[in-house]
Amino acid sequence: MNWIILIIAGLFEVAFASCLGKAKEATGTAVYWWYAGFLVSLTISMLGLVKAAQTLPIGTAYAVWTGIGAVGTALVGILVFKDPAHFWRIFFLSTLIGSIIGLKAVSHGGRDV
């Protein structure tokens, strides 16, 4: 269950980073709505990380959380913000995804002593 919470927390990390990007592009009162979305997403993301880290090793939980955030934010950047999507960028995003899957595969779900 905590892996699911951690994945959701990582997705909210993508949301708060995306809100910052949209706030940068927005004008008028829309800026405040994007910042409000940032604060809500940030809070949910952090609370999810805290909850998941209660049973998962903190190093694994943090690495997976930041990895989901990094890959997701890079993909949103490519798809929404028209960031470059050249071969090496996609290659290294793929290796990051492989690393996240590898951390899940070698984790026992509890604290290693």
Could you report the per-residue pLDDT of 59-92, keeping only the tens digit for each?
999 999 999 999 999 999 999 999 999 999 999 9
Answer yes or no: is 64 within a domain. Answer: yes
Quickly state the pLDDT bin for 112 (edges 50, 70, 90). Answer: very low
Overall domain count for the chain: 1
Give the up-direction half-sphere exposure of residue 107: CA atoms within 13 A in the CB hemisphere.
22
Q: What is the mean pLDDT of residues 26-35?
A: 96
> Which three-class secondary structure state does DSSP give residue 28?
coil
What the block records as the tokens of 57 is 């090793």
Residues spanned by the domain of 60: 2-106
What the block records as the tokens of 95 is 């290796």
Using alpha carbons, select from 63, 57, 65, 60 the residue that is nearest to residue 113.
Answer: 57
The H-or-E segment that residue 64 falls in is helix 58-79
Answer yes or no: is 111 within a domain. Answer: no
Answer yes or no: is 33 within a domain. Answer: yes
